[in-house]
Structure 1
Amino acid sequence: MAKRAMTNEAKALKAQSILDKAVELFTSYDYEQIKMSDIAKEMNMSKGILFVYFKTKESLFFHLLTREYEKRLQHLMNMIIETRINNEDDFKQLVMKELIELVDHNPLYIRLESIRTSVLEKNIDAEVMLELKSGLYNKMIIMTNLLCDSGIVTEAAVMDIFQAEASIITGCKLSATLPNEVIEIIERNGMHGFKRDFKADVMDTMSYYLDGYFQGRR
């Protein structure tokens, strides 16, 4: 009997299960240490089948980042609906609250965002990236419109702020990530002042940025 072709729904579910397996590996290993063959092995499938779903490792992880960003946008929209934004301070508190939730509860998103421009977008197929970004952009517009309903910020301001936030996350993550041998030297010699606190750095930098941004608009 001929094997029945998979439905589009079944293919979508399989793609999601592949992404779930990549998350498991990414929890224990750095991006550079993970190979497509590792993911295929964990999924009990051939590399050839895996490449049917994701042509490259960059594409797979960019899909994963897109999935996390969609979850983030939905959560942020829920926060906006539940929040009264009457002034710039209210807007800042909303942004900072959502950011601290990301830092404290979504290390997967933080790690993916920190390699987005330097690794994923550099190597992913342009057509795939455009398709995924277009979907995100549409959701971003919905979120932006919710924020702009307050009359406190404009669409351009929201885009500026969230692009800056992404850069701040990336920069602070890179400065806080030291090679193991460097960490050992720091700890052995009691040079704890050389260690960076990612959470403190990203929150302080974002707070300063928002203060400066709004002051510059007045």
Structure 2
Amino acid sequence: MNILTEKQKATRANKIAEAAWRLFETRPFAKITMSEIAKTADVSKGTLFNYFDCKESLFMTLLLTGYQQYFDEVIKLIRAKETLTKNDFMDLLLNQTKVLIETKPTLVRLNALRGPVLEQGANMAQTVSYREKLYAKNQELGEIVATRIPSLTIKDVSQLMLVQSAIISGLMNMSSLNSFNRHPIAKINFENFQINLVEDAVSVFRNYLTGKYPETFTR
């Protein structure tokens, strides 16, 4: 019997995750099959199901681990700053909104599927396990910011990250009204349905920040 060590299991899980991620970079979620993921990862379909009981569970895991990595990046940026004022933090949040959309488009696309698609089939226990890890990372970020900006609580920071995500996902869903299945609709001019995702997300988030925390975030 071939019994894998924990390290070998983690390596195989990462291999499966990377294969699924590569496919999702260029393909719609609905067009990707578990058989295709197994083939791309060079594992048997049976092995794949040993790690993830369905496609939704696999992609939910990709989403939650992807946002853990994103929070880690934000934490590193904050720790690298000698000082962090209220306006510094606001600027960082707005800049990171732009960075998130421009450098992590696959993660942003995946996040837009969380509620309407992924949670409909994902394994609850597995999802909760990874969500707990994401929550812990979110709280770590909140603690770091709240320590340096006493007027903000950990909950404040947590909510700001959630709002950032919600703004991006909402606008991303609406930005596709002038296309169908990621293909532009050429016969009809839907000019007024077009959304500049980066520009509009930053603008909406800025308005939220200055409206909710007028004394904290001044402009």
Give the TM-score normalised by structure 2: 0.89
The aligned amino acid for 2:67 is: Y
| Structure with a larger share of its residues in helix | 1
Q: Equivalent residue for 1:45?
A: 43
Moved more, 157-166 or 28-37: 157-166
How far does residue 217 in structure 1 lie from its aligned partner after superposition?
Answer: 7.8
Identity of aligned residues (%): 26
Q: Return the alpha-carbon distance in structure 1 between the equivalents of residues 85 and 185 of structure 2.
A: 49
Q: Return the alpha-carbon distance in structure 2 between the equivalents of residues 43 and 142 of structure 1.
A: 33
Q: Equivalent residue for 1:80?
A: 78
8 A contact 2:65–2:134 mirrored in 1: no
Q: Return the alpha-carbon distance in structure 1 between the equivalents of residues 121 and 157 of structure 2.
A: 28
Q: Return the alpha-carbon distance in structure 2 between the equivalents of residues 139 and 103 of structure 1.
A: 20
Q: Equivalent residue for 2:162?
A: 163
Instruction: State the superposition RMSD in angstroms.
Output: 2.0
Correspondence list, 1:147-186, <5 A: 147-150=145-148, 151-178=150-177, 179-180=179-180, 183-185=184-186
8 A contact 1:65–1:112 mirrored in 2: yes
Q: Return the alpha-carbon distance in structure 1 between the equivalents of residues 76 and 44 of structure 2.
A: 40
Query: CA-to-partner distance for each residue in 1:174-205, whole Å, 9 max, x for gaps?
Result: 001233388324xx455433322111221111
Q: Return the alpha-carbon distance in structure 1 between the equivalents of residues 216 and 104 of structure 2.
A: 32
Q: Equivalent residue for 1:197?
A: 196
8 A contact 2:111–2:169 mirrored in 1: yes
Give the TM-score normalised by structure 1: 0.90
Q: Return the alpha-carbon distance in structure 2 between the equivalents of residues 155 and 5 of structure 1.
A: 43
The aligned amino acid for 1:25 is: L
Gaps of 5+ in 2: none
Gaps of 5+ in 1: none
How far does residue 112 in structure 1 lie from its aligned partner after superposition?
Answer: 1.3
Q: For residue 156 of structure 2, give the secondary structure of its aligned residue in structure 1.
A: helix
